[in-house]
Amino acid sequence: MSSKRIAIIGAGISGLCALKACREQDFDVTVFEKTDDICGLWQYRDEDVEGIASITRSTILNTSKEMTAFSDFPAPK
């Protein structure tokens, strides 16, 4: 284990990418997330939660799944 300790604030897409990159470098990583779920702003919630943003039920991602997938974790067929 590396002697470097890293704190990542938020388990949204950027936080998860940072976590992956730090783990690949064998850093000791802790992710802090204020909700019980990952995905940050892309996590839909049925009820409004004070101070936590959410997408709406009708949100549609208008791009191909191939363009938004990760190279080592492709989108399902």
pLDDT at residue 16 tops 80: yes
**Residue 28 confidence class, pLDDT cut points 50, 70, 90:** very high
Query: Percent of the chain having pLDDT more than 90?
Result: 38
Instruction: Find how far residue 11's CA is from the centre of its chain.
Output: 4
Of 50 and 32, the one with more pLDDT: 32
pLDDT at residue 1 tops 70: no
- pTM over 0.95? The answer is no
* Calpha distance 54→23 (Å, rounded): 28
* Calpha distance 60→68 (Å, rounded): 13
pLDDT at residue 73 tops 70: yes
**Residue 47 confidence class, pLDDT cut points 50, 70, 90:** confident
